Amino acid sequence: MEWARTTFGRLAVQIAKYMGAKRVIATGRNVEALEQLMGIGADATVPVVPIGTESNSN
């Protein structure tokens, strides 16, 4: 579920679960918002990092 951090996205997470979705995965850039989504029904979250800003551990 893209844009899960927005009001629409938060509602969509809840509706998806209510309608019987077996797994709801939310994506977004705000890690704190993603953690909150776990509390309202998201089964998993995926933090999105814009290209060129990911850390390089080498």
**What letter represents residue 31's amino acid?**
V
8-28 per-position pLDDT tens digit = 889 999 999 999 999 999 988
26-48 per-position pLDDT tens digit = 988 888 889 999 999 999 999 98
Place of tokens 């309202």: 40
Residues 6+ apart with CB under 8 A from 29: 5, 47, 48, 49, 50
